[in-house]
Amino acid sequence: MELPADLQVALQGALRGKAIASLAETAAALSACYRASHGRGDGPLARSAGEALAYAAYRMPATFAAIFSALQATQRRLPSFAPLSMLDLGAGSGAALWAASGCFDSLQQAQLFEGEAAMLALGKTLAAQSLAPVVRAASWAKADLLAAPLALPEVDLVTCAYVLGELGASARTTLLSNMWQATRGVLLLVEPGTPRGFAIIRALRAELIAIGAHIAAPCPHVDVCPMPTDDWCHFAQRIARPSFQRTLKGATLGYEDEKFSYIAATRLPPAALEARIIRHPQVRSGTIELELCTQAGTLVSPTITKRNKDSWRAARDAAWGGEW
Ligand SMILES: C[S@@+](CC[C@H](N)C(=O)[O-])C[C@H]1O[C@@H](n2cnc3c(N)ncnc32)[C@H](O)[C@@H]1O
């Protein structure tokens, strides 16, 4: 996967004339802060224009990739879902807007809520350079997601990516209920693919099911999550690193793999799914081992052999995160 060309150009433009060394330092300091603050619900950390730009250059390709991948998986389970409107909460520099516009041709209207003025300003500047009218015309509002009452407009698609981990547990629950009320079609939550990111997604999944949501992806069932407590359900999306990102990270690899956990809750029941592939298939000579989360709410690890031609053919095409 690649970052959309117009977004790359917009990011390159925003970085023009900036001292790479100082941005790299800011980005490294931000990552250290994010790692150190996780769990305390300290709130947003990228506050200045420099911090917002460092975040976008360093992280936006990866968050875009994760959101795009989660939206695609959702779309496969809900092929008739054609959102006209979206709302993104904790929008940052706008990764979800670009991803949703790339996934859904139907999208006509987008609203983004973000708490930090510098992030919002950068997101708006980048969006103004998009080739997609819906991205250019998106409306951005400075809003605190923890404000009470939080009035959210009703839309077809609500997204909230890499935000919930910055909030405390009770704030997450309140926000979840607000987001679900605002959702006419699909609510997508994405978090880092870490034990903590997954624990947040797992808890919110249970809350969503308790209030009557269907799950479009990744789970093929609405039973209790069968993942053992010492493991975590996550997926990975590879994305090419734009040259500015390679320079900023001092990276030699031309790509990175973003690991993420997600849940797409829906008001419409999705088509049945036999199972989801939850690990890289292990290919050996003559066998392919899969790890699946099944419709029955169980984890199974079948070994596929060449003897079963149909399964073998399917297993050769199987990919982590895909449907089985
Ligand atoms: C890690 S960034 C993620 C940005 C974007 N969603 C993405 O995926 O790239 C988290 C964003 O949530 C915003 N945020 C955190 N707490 C917030 C709050 N209480 N109200 C509004 N925005 C908040 C931060 O300012 C930041 O832009």
Q: 241 pLDDT exceeds 70?
A: yes
pLDDT above 90 covers what percent of the chain?
Answer: 85
Distance 302 CA to ligand 1 centre (A): 40
What is the structure's pLDDT at 149?
A: 86
What is the structure's pLDDT at 38?
A: 56
Q: 312 pLDDT exceeds 60?
A: yes
- Give dist(CA 251, CA 46) in Å, integer: 23
70-96: average pLDDT: 98
pLDDT-based confidence at residue 248 (cuts at 50, 70, 90): confident
CATH architecture of 5-266: 3-Layer(aba) Sandwich (3.40)
**What digits encode the pLDDT tens for the residues 181-202?**
999 999 999 999 999 999 999 9
In a mutational test of the pocket of ligand 1, which residue from 7, 163, 200 has the highest number of ligand atoms less than 8 Å from its CB?
163
Distance 261 CA to ligand 1 centre (A): 17
CB 266 within 8 A of CB 311: no
- Nearest CA to 228 out of 195, 260, 253, 250 is that of 195
- Give dist(CA 281, CA 275) in Å, integer: 14
Q: Whose CA is nearest to atom 4 of ligand 1?
A: 92
Q: Which residues line ligand 1 (CB under 6 A)?
A: 43-44, 60, 63, 90-92, 95-96, 114-116, 119, 144-146, 161-163, 166
Helix (H) or strand (E) holding 312: helix 309-316
Q: Whose CA is nearest to atom 24 of ligand 1?
A: 44
In a mutational test of the pocket of ligand 1, which residue from 166, 170, 258 has the highest number of ligand atoms less than 8 Å from its CB?
166
Domain coordinates in residue numbering, the chain? 5-266, 275-316
What is the structure's pLDDT at 42?
A: 54
- How many Cα atoms occupy the beta-carbon half-sphere of 280 within 13 Å? 6
**What digits encode the pLDDT tens for the residues 134-155?**
999 999 999 999 998 899 999 9
CB 89 within 8 A of CB 145: yes
